[in-house]
Amino acid sequence: MALTESQRSNLRRPIRWLRNPEPEHPDEIPRRELSSLTFALTGQNHIFSMAASDRFVHFCTNVLKIDPVHVGFMVSATAAFDAINDPLAGAIVDRYRFKDGRKLLPWLKFTSPLIAIFAFLLFINWGLSYGLSIFYAGAVYVMWDIAYSFHDAALWGMTAAIHPNSRQSARTVQWADFGVFAGGLLPGLTMPMLGGGGAFGLSQQQVYFIFGLFLCLGGGLLTLFALQMKERVRSLPEAEEQNRVTHPFKSVMQNIARIRHNHVLLLFLAARIAESTVPNVADIFMFQDMQPYNVFGSEIHPSVMLMIFTIIWGFPGAALKPFALKIADRVGSMKRILIIGRVTAIAARVLGFLVGVRTWPALVIVCLLDGISHLPNSLFNIAQRSMLSDSVDYVEWKTGQRTEAITMSIRNFMSKFGSAIRRFIQGYTLRFLQHNPSLTEARLPQNAHFQQWIWPVFRLGPAVGLIVSLIPLLLLNYPDSLKLQVETDLAQRRALAEEELMAGIAE
């Protein structure tokens, strides 16, 4: 099909197309706002990929030389703190509306620099004693965590507050998820630089400092793009009046209690916990001590090959993201995307285990299997967040109150809590494997026990978690008929409230 002149112009000027302040249709969200959210989430995920990931565990064990079990206890303690911090942050954001009428965006003005600075401070080795190193890492992480909870609740809450139409909200999630992909891409590609003693003659400590400058502080600057967005969905006047006259503490507690009406959110939380409670190790522990492959006469380290294939199968998955809505229509629902993704991931992990990675052709096959499974799983977060955005409307339909912030903060808690459980278990897994970070620093192989068990644990542990997580996903039930009824009823309530407001002004 031949391109129109408008389409050719868009291809010639992609930046102008992205930053166009006018929507293509009157009822659509302008691309300028959608691209701003994408940039903001790219920056946020640069930060998250450093602070709330295996990089933090790796820094603590390999640079600060903290015992993996002690690291596991530290991150599990922060997860227990998140059980209070994340819901409270979301409930507070939902409770207050600023003088300019906005509820979410003002929080991003001051939390964006805070999450960047605290994340950067996490990856600096001050040469403290063993005990003080644990205290410093834990204290800075908690401060980062508090700021991040408010930031994430407000930023992701925008996917539900940006437009009253669920289709437009899902479109927003598509753009947002591309930002998540872009935000995790650079940290993922640079992770092999930490193999052995570092890269380019730098120590692991120096590499982490550079990562902190570019990914943490630079990511903080990108998050400020979100301030160009608009909040178009407000709570009904009676709901805002109820919040105004209710005692702040009681109102916050009521917002937390409304979680019980959101069965979609609770089932996602159960799935995340189930997926995390299995033995596991991060990629870097699996591949950093392996010997290079001889590939047609050239020596290539497995971690480098893994990085190459991450790029190869990452971009096709990213290319599917703009078509998530059409794919959901084709397969039947967003829920089916979730199920298909989990089933293919389980199959790829089991088949990959049977193939192994003793030779480079075997690693290629394993990477290809993962690439195939990544195609449906690249849409997992879009499907999940779209359903969560719809669930905000459902809770308002049931209770009269909008819960964008607390819904997204619970999802944030769900992600961090699941990661904390996984890293807690990872500490004991590394102890079981008898991992010795000093051997890695000296560029020596790990012991025979580690070599025997690392592959089964790395490959099959997560597969078991994926199987268990299928149960809550299968119980999800929010049919399109109910979603349409909810959206129609809310539109009628808002129209009636607008008529009453106009009538009051006329009097």
Task: For CA atoms 324, 233, 493, 400, give the dihedral sign.
Answer: positive
- Read off φ and ψ for residue 434, nearest 5 degrees: 60, 45
Q: State the pLDDT at residue 233.
A: 84
Coil, strand, or helix at residue 300? strand
From 14, 504, 497, select the one nearest 241 (Cα to Cα): 497
Q: State the pLDDT at residue 344.
A: 95
- Whole-angstrom Cα distance, residue 436 to residue 427? 12
Alpha helices in 52-129 (DSSP H): 54-62, 68-95, 105-122
Q: State the pLDDT at residue 465.
A: 93
The two structure tokens encoding residue 137:
């890492």
Q: State the pLDDT at residue 16.
A: 59
- Read off φ and ψ for residue 379, nearest 5 degrees: -100, 0
Determine whether 215 is exposed, middle or buried from the number of CB atoms within 10 Å of its CB (0-12, 13-18, 19+): buried
* H, E, C per residue of 165-186: CHHHHHHHHHHHHHHHHHHHHH
CB atoms within 10 A of CB 136: 18
Specify the DSSP element, H or E, that contains 293: strand 293-295
User: Can you list the residues of the chain whose pLDDT is less than 50?
Assistant: 1-2, 7, 11, 196
| Distance between start and end Cα atoms, the chain | 57
Q: State the pLDDT at residue 471.
A: 94
The two structure tokens encoding residue 128:
């403290």
CB atoms within 10 A of CB 472: 18
From 347, 363, 354, 384, select the one nearest 310 (Cα to Cα): 363
Q: State the pLDDT at residue 44.
A: 94
Specify the DSSP element, H or E, that contains 294: strand 293-295
Q: State the pLDDT at residue 1.
A: 43
- Whole-angstrom Cα distance, residue 31 to residue 304? 36
b/e per residue 438-450 (b: at least 16 CB within 10 A): eebbeeeebeeeb
Unique residue bearing structure tokens 């990959």: 352
Q: State the pLDDT at residue 335.
A: 92
Q: State the pLDDT at residue 340.
A: 94
Q: What is the DSSP string of 218-267?
A: HHHHHHGGGGG--------HHHHHHHHHS-HHHHHHHHHHGGGG-HHHHH
What value, to the nearest 5°, has the Cα angle with vertex 71 and ends 65 and 76?
170
Unique residue bearing structure tokens 């997560």: 462
- Whole-angstrom Cα distance, residue 159 to residue 175? 10
Q: State the pLDDT at residue 501.
A: 65
- Whole-angstrom Cα distance, residue 4 to residue 21? 21
Correct CATH for 31-506 of 2.40.30.60, 1.20.1250.20, 3.40.50.1970, 3.30.1200.10: 1.20.1250.20
Q: What are the tens digits of pLDDT across the range 417-431?
A: 787 788 788 888 988
What does each C-alpha distance from 61 to 47, 435, 440 come to in angstroms? 20, 10, 11
- Whole-angstrom Cα distance, residue 221 to residue 239? 35
The two structure tokens encoding residue 19:
């930053």
What does each C-alpha distance from 350 to 339, 356, 373, 422, 456 come to in angstroms? 17, 10, 12, 20, 10
Cross-strand pairs, 295: 298
b/e per residue 95-117 (b: at least 16 CB within 10 A): bebeeeebbbbbbbeebbebbbb
